[in-house]
Amino acid sequence: MEINVSTNIKDVNTDNFMNDVIEASKEKPIIVDFWAPWCEPCKQLGPLLENAVKEQKENLTLAKIDIDQNQEIASQLRIQSIPTVYTFFEGKVVDGFQGSKTNSEILEFVKKSASLLGPGEEVENFMSMAKLAIEQRNWNESKEIAQKILDIDPENHVGFASLIKSMIGLNQFSDVRDITDALAIEIRESKPVTEALMSLEPSEKAFKAQENIEELEKKLEKNPENLDSLLEMAIAFYGKGEIAKSFELLLKSIDIDREWNDQAARKQLLEFFTSAGFEAVETIDARRKLASLLFS
């Protein structure tokens, strides 16, 4: 067996196939290139594939199998034409192709195979950092971190969710819609992204409402228990980022008349809980107070 010690590329044969492909794929993906010296398309594909996998040294290995020297393997895997490329992961074939491919198609195939291992340690660290920045509402910082996640892993669902939350926090509502419209359906409909988008409409509504905050303050001075004004003021406060004040006004409204306008204040509060995040300090405090009101 020939092993290129400087890269993640190795020659594999019948003797070590089980160990270096099947067993090794339980640790990380193994791309197997079935080729032969007489195969001209193989000579074109091989170098492109090798260059692509060199960039993924920590995430996968390329195993090259000469089918002339290893006909038993080719027969067992029913290799009928070459070049044939398979990705093995967790002991079985999970992806592959036959024939020639463009360089961009090969890069995409290798990237997809590498992603089977999940996000690397660097991405995991960035996701933790983004989560903390979002909880602290450091929107510029969380946006910057989200972009770093997507630079490393362009299809990372949490990265897109973090980016969307950050842009909503920065009141970049139309940009969020543009980004969302451009996303692949798989990403747009993923749980992290759909949850992030739930805050788009309530946040935009609140942002627009804050323009009338001075007028609303005057109304409340005249009638501190006017339920319409309390609701409008709560929405305006949320738009200004004064979440605790917003929640206090909604709780006050519920305390005055929880059934008013088909429980409008309670519904608005629950909507803002989702928008602010259930782990937010303000949400935790308001949920405790809401439970006390409803069950007292």
- 15-28: pLDDT as tens digits: 999 999 999 999 99
Q: Is the pLDDT of residue 4 over 60?
A: no
| pLDDT for res 175 | 97
DSSP H helix total and E strand total for the chain? 16, 6
State yes or no: is 137 an active-site residue. Answer: no
Here the tokens at position 82 are: 């070459």
Nearest to 39 by CA among 70, 67, 73: 67
Quote the radius of gyration of the chain (alpha carbons, Å). 28
State yes or no: is 42 an active-site residue. Answer: yes
Q: Which CATH number fits domain 205-295: 3.90.1310, 1.10.3470, 1.10.1740, 1.25.40?
A: 1.25.40
SS3 for 30? strand
Q: Where do the CATH 1.25.40.10 domains begin and end in the chain?
A: 121-197
> What does the alpha-carbon distance between residue 183 and residue 190 come to, in Å, rounded to a whole number?
11
Q: Where do the CATH 3.40.30.10 domains begin and end in the chain?
A: 3-117
Identify the band that residue 232 occupies on the pLDDT scale cut at 50, 70 and 90: very high
Burial of 197 (0-12, 13-18, 19+ CB in 10 A): middle
| pLDDT for res 296 | 73
Nearest to 77 by CA among 62, 67, 68: 67
Nearest to 202 by CA among 256, 250, 143, 156: 250
Q: Which of 30, 39, 74, 193 is catalytic?
A: 39
Identify the band that residue 62 occupies on the pLDDT scale cut at 50, 70 and 90: very high
Q: Which of 21, 32, 42, 276 is catalytic?
A: 42
Does this model's pTM top 0.85? My answer is no
| pLDDT for res 153 | 85
Polymer length of the chain? 296
Residue type, 50: E
Fill in the DSSP letter of residue 87. E
Place of tokens 């020659």: 11
The CATH number of the domain covering residues in 3-117: 3.40.30.10
Q: How large a percentage of the chain has pLDDT more than 70?
A: 98
Place of tokens 């160990």: 19
CATH architecture of 121-197: Alpha Horseshoe (1.25)
Fill in the DSSP letter of residue 18. I
